[in-house]
Structure 1
Amino acid sequence: MMRQTTMVTLFTLTLLGAAHAATPKDTLVVAKNIEDIVGLDPAEAFEFSSAEVVSNVYQNLIQYDVKNPNKVVPGLADSWTVAADGKSITFQLKPSAHFASGNDVRPEDVLFSFMRVVKLNKAPAFILAQLGWTPDNIGQMVRKTGNDSVTISWSGDFGAAFVLNLLAARPGSILDEKLVTQHQKGADLGNAWLNQNSAGSGPYKLKLYKPKEVVVLEANTTTPVGAPATRMVLIKNVVEPATQRLLLESGDADIARDLGPDQLTAMKARADIRVETYPQAAVHFISFNQKQEKLRNPAVWEAMRYLVDYDGIANRLLKGQMKVHQAFLPEGFPGALKETPFKYDPEKAKAILSKAGVKDLSFDMDVINAPRFMDMAQSLQASMAKGGVKLNLLSGTGSQVITRYRARKHEAIMLYWGPDFFDPHANAKAFAYNVDNSDGNYQSTTTWRNAWAVPQLSSKTMTALKEKDPTARATAYQDLQRDVQQSSPIVVMFQEQSQVALRSNVKGYINGLTPDFVLYDKVVKQ
C-alpha cells in the first residue's frame, strides 16, 4: 500500500510541477518536450515522441536489431520462410505469446492490425501500402495459414528483405483485436481509444496520457520479451531546457532530453550527472511550399542554400547537437552522401536572386517553439537578412506545426525527418517521390507536403528500389541525393546528434539511431 501511495503522490506532484526529494527507485522520470505528439495509436503515431511510446508498448512480427538496425530479428514471430517465388513470407508465431490483457497473440491479430492501418489511412499508412495492400485486398494479402502461422503476400518488384524492413517499422505493430474491438466507436477501429490506451505485448503498457502534460508507462510483467527492470516510466512534458536542468539537478528527474549547449556544459562538470551523445538518423531541413508562387523560382531554392550559416549553427550555436549534413540519407545508411557543397555566402545568394529578377523576397516560416528550434530559426532569420531576404517566424507547438505542414498551409517550414524503416528507400520516397500532387491524395512525404511534383525523380526512385545489386543500388541513391541537393525546394542542413543528461545512478538506457530505439525496459537505478 505504501508503494501505491508513493506513486500516486509522485504523479500528482509531477503533474503540478511541484518539487520533491527524489524519484522512487522503481520509477524512471524523464523530462522531455512531448508536445509533438499527435496520436499514440500505432496506425497514426508518426512523431518522434509518439514513436518512443509505441516502441516500448508494442511488438512487431520481427524487430530491428538495436545494435545493427539494418538487420531484423524475431519479435512475435519465432521464425519465417520466404516462398520460392519470392512473393510471400510465412511467419510462425511464438505459441506462448500473449498481450498485456492476457489474450493470446493469434494470426487474426496480425490481419486485424495490418487491416486497420490500411483502412484508417493515417500518416504512416503509406509504409504498408507500398506492399500493394488496399482495404479491398488486405484479407487476401494477409492470411491465416495455421493455428500459429500467418502468410503475408505483396505485389511489386522488390525482394523479401525490403518487405521485412517495412514490417519491422512502427505501423507493423501487432494489436490485441479482442481488446480493441471492445472500444470501437463507429468506424474508427478503436483509434480514439488507442490514443489514450494501449493494446500491445511490449514491455510496457500505457497507464496515462495527458496531452502536453505527461505520459506514464507501467510495466507489463507478462511480456514475451521479459519483464522490464523498471516498474514505471513517467515522461513529463517540460518545454524549457532550464526547467529540465533544475529537475535533473534536484533529483526530481532522472533523465533530461532537451538541454541546450550551455546547460549540457554545466552538467558535464557535475559528478552526479553524466552526458551521453547518441548519433541520430534525423535530418533537419527547411522547405518551401510550391503552392506559394513566390517560392516556385529555382533561383530562390538555390539562393537559400547559401543563406544558412551551417558551421555557425552546428558548432557555435548548438555545440555539437547538429552535424553539417546536406543530403537526405543520413550517415549510416547505404549510399548516404557525405558531400557538403554549400557554405554560407550571402553575397552569392544576392547575386543569384538579382540575376533571376527576384526582389524584396519575404516569406513566413513555421517553426516549433522549443528553444533549440527557435535558436536555429533566429540564426536563419539573421543570415537571410544579410542576403536581402526577410524571414518571418511563425512559432507553434510541435503538433501545431506538424498539423499545418500535413495540411500544406505553410509557406516555408523548418523541420526534421527521421526514416520510417531502415532502408534507403524510406527517405528517397520522402524526398524524391510524388506522382500525384492533388490535395485529396495525402502523402506522408516532404515532396507532397511541399506540393513539389517530381515525375522524373519518382521514376528514378522506383528504379533504385528495384535494383538488386547492393553497390549499384547505393550509387543510384547517391545520384538521387545529388538531384535533390542541387535543385529542389528542400534544403537539407544537418544530421542530429542527441545529447542526453542522466543522473549517474541510471544504467541501461538505450537511445539508438531513431526514436524507435529509445528503450526503457533495461533501465535500472543503482
Structure 2
Amino acid sequence: MKLLKPALLAAVLALPLAVPAAQADTPAELLVVAQNIDDIVAIDPAQAYEFTSGELVTNTYDRLVQYDAEDTTVLAPGLATDWAIDAEAKTITFTMRDGVTFHSGNPVRADDVAFSFARVVQLNLTPAFILTQLGWTPENVDEMVTADGNTVTVRYDGDFSPAFVMNVLASRPASIVDELTVMANEVDGDMGNAWLNANTAGTGPFTLTAFRPAELIRMEANPAYFNGAPAIEGVIIRHVAESATQQLLLESGDVDIARNLTPDQVASLEGEGLRVETFPQAAVHFLSFNQAVESLTPPAVWEAARYLVDYEGMTNSIIAGQMEVHQAFWPEGFPGALTDTPYSYDPERAAQILADAGVDLPITVSLDVINAAPFTDMAQSIQASFAEAGINFEILPGTGSQVITRYRERSHEAMLLYWGPDFMDPHSNAKAFAYNSDNSQDAYAATTTWRNSWAVPGEMNEMTTAALTEPDPAAREEMYLELQRRVQESSPIVIMFQASYQVAMDDAVSGYVNGATSDFVFYRLVEKS
C-alpha cells in the first residue's frame, strides 16, 4: 500500500487554524476537510451511532450489499457478488466476492461475515437493534447466520419483505470486520471493541491511519479496493468547531471543503474558485392537525392547508439553503421516494375549498413550534399565509423537549415539526405517516399518525402492512409510492419540506458525494484538478 510522503503529511498536519497572510494551497494528493467531528463517541461498527462516525465507517468498511458512491439510490453488490432469496423459507444465501482482502492483508471469508453479525448481537451496543429485529439473539445468531465455503446463509424470523431484510444488511452495524485481527486485539472478552474504537479492520476504499478524537481523522487510500482505488491518496478531516473559522480556512486555501457553514456564511463566501453544493437530507418537515380538535377534522381543512403554505416564499428567503420543497413522507434520494410537488401557495383556491365544504370560519388554533430559527420564522410565515383564508394560528414557542412532550401527549392543536427515518427502508416512515391501527389514548405509538389522533383508514393500514411483507421489490416500491400519494392528498399531516445540507468547496474538487444520511458520505470518487 502506498504511504503518504512524510514531509507532505507533516505539512498538512501543521496547517494553522488561523488564516495566513498569503494564499495557501492544500497538497494535490490529499483532500483536506474542515468539519466539526466532536460528536464521535465510537467508531467500532458494532457501536458507532453518531453522524461523523457513520461517515468514517462507510469509507473504511464494506457490507454484503451496500448503497455506494456511484449511485446512492441503488442497492449494489458489496462483499457479496450475488444472492438467492427464498422468501418462503425466510433465507437469503450470499456468494462472497473472490480475491478481496482486509486492510491487514487477511482474505475475506464467509466466516468473517458470520462473526461480524454475531459480534454485533452479542455485544448488544446501541445500533444492535437494527440487526436483532430480524429475530437474532445471542442464543440463536450462530444458527441464523451460517457460513459454508464461500457462501453465507442469513435466516430471519418475522413477516418481512426480503427487500426490508436486504436494507437491514446494508446498514452500518452490518459492516464486515476482520475476525482474525479483531480477536487478536480482544481484551477481557470485549471482542476487540476497545481496539476498534481507535482503529479499523475493514475492506473499504480507505484505511484509517490516525484518529484523535475532536482533533483529526486521517484516512489513506486502499489501492486494492475491489471497486477501484480512490483517485486521491488520502483524506484529512480536521476538527474545526467554529463555522466562521471553517469559512476563513476555505477562503484562504488551507482546506478544500468546509462542512459546517451557516446559510449566512454561505451567502457571504468570498474568493474566486469556490462553490457551494446542496444535498437533500433525510428529515422531512411538516405541519399537522390534531384530530382530537373538532374544528380541525374536516378534510377540507387539510386540503385547503396544502394551498396555504408559501413553499417558494420560504425556500427563497428564511430557509434558503436549509430546506427544499418536498411533499411526501419518504425523503428524496432514497429508492421509492415520491418527488411530485403538486401543491403551491394559492390562498384563493384554499378559500374556495373551505367555502364549498361549508367550513365555519374563522378557525383559531394554537401552533406549537420549537423556539429557534428557522422554526419560529416558518411559524410566522404560516401564520400570515393561513390568515388569508380565515385560519388563525396562535404561535406557542417552546423548547424542543417541551414541544415534543406535548406532541407525545397529544395535547397540542397544530404542530410544526420534522421527522427522520429510524432506518433506511420506506417502512420506517410509512409506519409513522400511513399507519395507526389503534387510535385509543392508552395505545401510545411513536408515530405522527397516533400523536395527531388520526385514525388512519383501514385500507391504508392494510396497504402499509402488505408493503412490509411484499416480496417483489418493484411491486413493493409502487405500494410505497401509492401510500405517499394518499397521505399527500388526504391526511391531517401537511408535508412541506426536506432538509438540505450545504457544503462549500474549492472548484478544484469534484466527485464528492453527500447522500441523504451520514452513511451516504463518500470520498472514493473525489478528484482534485
Q: TM-score, normalised by structure 1?
A: 0.74
1:329 deviates by 1.6
Within 5 A, what are the aligned runs for 1:263-274?
A: 263-265=265-267, 267=269, 270-274=271-275
Give 5+ residue unaligned stretches, structure 2.
1-5, 385-391
What's the counterpart of residue 501 of structure 1? 504
**Structure 2 residue 60 is matched with structure 1 residue 62:** no
Task: Give the 3-state SS of the residue equivalent to 1:389 in structure 2.
Answer: strand
**Structure 2 residue 333 is matched with structure 1 residue 328:** no
CA 246–321 in structure 1, closer or farther in 2 if over 3 Å, else same: same
CA distance in 2, matches of 1:227, 1:472: 36
1:87 deviates by 3.3
Aligned with residue 370 of structure 2, among 353, 365, 370: 365
What's the counterpart of residue 379 of structure 1? 377
Give 5+ residue unaligned stretches, structure 1.
368-373
What's the counterpart of residue 371 of structure 1? none
CA distance in 2, matches of 1:307, 1:388: 12
**Structure 2 residue 392 is matched with structure 1 residue 394:** no
Per-residue Cα deviation, 1:93-146 (whole angstroms, up to 9, x for no partner) = 334333223443232321232224344555544543453333332211100112
**Structure 2 residue 255 is matched with structure 1 residue 257:** no
Aligned with residue 168 of structure 1, among 162, 167, 170: 170
**Number of residue pairs aligned between Structure 1 and Structure 2:** 493
**Structure 2 residue 12 is matched with structure 1 residue 2:** no
Greater C-alpha Rg: 2
Task: Give the 3-state SS of the residue equivalent to 1:205 in structure 2.
Answer: strand
Task: Give the 3-state SS of the residue equivalent to 2:376 in structure 1.
Answer: helix
What's the counterpart of residue 96 of structure 2? 93
Q: Partner letter of residue 380 of structure 2?
A: A
What's the counterpart of residue 200 of structure 1? 202
CA 73–469 in structure 1, closer or farther in 2 if over 3 Å, else same: closer
CA distance in 2, matches of 1:489, 1:215: 46
1:254 deviates by 0.5
Q: Partner letter of residue 327 of structure 1?
A: A
1:174 deviates by 0.9
What's the counterpart of residue 283 of structure 2? 283
Q: Partner letter of residue 11 of structure 2?
A: T
Per-residue Cα deviation, 1:447-504 (whole angstroms, up to 9, x for no partner) = 5997989896665422122335667645532453356557878653312444432212
CA distance in 1, matches of 2:361, 2:190: 50
CA 214–488 in structure 1, closer or farther in 2 if over 3 Å, else same: farther
1:286 deviates by 5.2
What's the counterpart of residue 53 of structure 1? 56
CA 259–178 in structure 1, closer or farther in 2 if over 3 Å, else same: same
Aligned with residue 338 of structure 1, among 329, 337, 340: 340
Contact (CA 8 Å) 2:285, 2:499: kept in 1 or not?
no
Contact (CA 8 Å) 2:55, 2:518: kept in 1 or not?
yes
CA 362–428 in structure 1, closer or farther in 2 if over 3 Å, else same: closer
Q: TM-score, normalised by structure 2?
A: 0.73
Per-residue Cα deviation, 1:202-229 (whole angstroms, up to 9, x for no partner) = 122342142xx34513215365335432
**Structure 2 residue 138 is matched with structure 1 residue 135:** yes
1:431 deviates by 4.3
What's the counterpart of residue 315 of structure 1? 316
What's the counterpart of residue 523 of structure 2? 520
CA distance in 1, matches of 2:367, 2:138: 44
CA distance in 2, matches of 1:258, 1:300: 39
CA 227–478 in structure 1, closer or farther in 2 if over 3 Å, else same: closer
Task: Give the 3-state SS of the residue equivalent to 1:217 in structure 2.
Answer: strand
Contact (CA 8 Å) 2:509, 2:528: kept in 1 or not?
yes
Q: Partner letter of residue 5 of structure 1?
A: A
CA 451–201 in structure 1, closer or farther in 2 if over 3 Å, else same: farther
CA distance in 2, matches of 1:256, 1:4: 20
CA 461–73 in structure 1, closer or farther in 2 if over 3 Å, else same: same
What's the counterpart of residue 510 of structure 1? 513
**Structure 2 residue 157 is matched with structure 1 residue 152:** no
1:73 deviates by 3.0
1:251 deviates by 0.8
Contact (CA 8 Å) 1:260, 1:318: kept in 2 or not?
no
Task: Give the 3-state SS of the residue equivalent to 1:282 in structure 2.
Answer: strand
Aligned with residue 24 of structure 1, among 23, 27, 43: 27
Sequence identity, in percent? 41
Within 5 A, what are the aligned runs for 1:73-84?
A: 73-82=76-85
Contact (CA 8 Å) 1:100, 1:223: kept in 2 or not?
no
What's the counterpart of residue 232 of structure 1? 235
What's the counterpart of residue 370 of structure 1? none
Contact (CA 8 Å) 1:99, 1:176: kept in 2 or not?
yes
Q: Partner letter of residue 28 of structure 2?
A: K
CA 106–409 in structure 1, closer or farther in 2 if over 3 Å, else same: farther
Q: Partner letter of residue 175 of structure 2?
A: S
Contact (CA 8 Å) 1:510, 1:518: kept in 2 or not?
yes
CA distance in 1, matches of 2:492, 2:37: 29
Aligned with residue 43 of structure 2, among 40, 44, 61: 40
CA distance in 2, matches of 1:180, 1:413: 46
Contact (CA 8 Å) 1:309, 1:379: kept in 2 or not?
no
CA 388–468 in structure 1, closer or farther in 2 if over 3 Å, else same: same
CA distance in 1, matches of 2:452, 2:367: 19
CA distance in 2, matches of 1:80, 1:518: 26
Task: Give the 3-state SS of the residue equivalent to 2:504 in structure 1.
Answer: strand
What's the counterpart of residue 387 of structure 2? none
Task: Give the 3-state SS of the residue equivalent to 1:481 in structure 2.
Answer: helix
Q: Partner letter of residue 380 of structure 1?
A: M
CA distance in 2, matches of 1:24, 1:237: 19
188-197 or 230-239: bigger deviation: 188-197
